[in-house]
Amino acid sequence: MIITARGHKFYHFQEPPAAGQELRESAGAWERATNAQQRRLVETYDAWASKVYTEMLGILARKDRTDPRAVEVRPTLETPPRWWVNIGYFPYYLSQEIFDTEKEARKRAKEIKDWLREQQRLGSETDLESYLIRLMPELELNLSAVVEQGIIGATSQVLRGQRMGPTPGVLSTQNRAIQGSLTMVRTALIPHIQAGILADIKLSVDTNALWQSFVAMRSRVAQYAGGYWVMIFEVEKEIGQEKDRELVRQGLPPEPVRWVLDPEAEHCKPSAGFYGCPELAGEYPGGWYTLPTVPAGQVTCRGTCRCRIEVYKDGKWKRGI
């Protein structure tokens, strides 16, 4: 827990919910592995955000401009008195200004106080902005490493289940997924986080608002665990298509597959360029080649998808290939 100079109390991100958003509830091995990937992503973001936020508190505390409360109005020793506006040392102003009436002096003092407060706000904003922008590449590097290892791990998990090594098609699928996911981190996730926090800084440099800005980004980071989920099905689809091709060469029909909706999930609707999961649900007698996409692929819900694919094998539907 961090206690700021203003007495605000803020709790570390590791407090529940640790994964940034809801986890997949099924007890299946794929769900557990995807949940673990989600936690790794959010923990990586949390470590970065906690460091950046703590440093930003220090930036806010190290203001070097004149405190507006130091501006004072007092009379001169003349008779009748004139009125000083004493603003102390500040490099862009004379140290004192003098007015004929108290009303004029207090009006000027208010203008100076307002100006100082605005300069403090703008100065703090600039410091916070530059510091945040400087640290964004570090976040991209750290999250990219987790994303890449997750895709490799998902590929390995499917291959272990099939007791087979990677085929050229599987390796090609894995490499495309890595490049695509890293591009999404670089061009979508990192800009979204940066823009969101910078926008909040412009609205307020209040420490509580700043903290909430970091917290709000955790759910977006968590969605990138969908890269692990979609990779499971992309690898299965590649292996399934290879098996279907062999069956066809032998004069046999491909094994049917079906798209299964998670009964506990809230499912998406079609959108521009994306399917809605309910419209994809059902059986595909033509096998893996006839699937328009895979869960967490070209569907509106993307990384939050909870659907799965089953194959009809040995007289029953089951997960796998």
pTM: 0.71
Instruction: Please give the share of the chain, as a percent, with pLDDT higher than 70.
Output: 84
How far apart, in Å, do the first and last CA atoms of the chain sit? Answer: 47
Q: Which tens digit of pLDDT belongs to each residue from 283-305? A: 999 999 999 999 888 999 887 88
| 229 band by pLDDT with thresholds 50, 70 and 90 | confident
Amino acid at 111: E
pLDDT digits (tens, 9 = 90+) for 85-131: 876 544 334 446 788 899 998 998 898 888 777 767 766 656 788 89
Question: Among 49, 56, 43, 27, which Cα is nearest to 206's?
Answer: 56
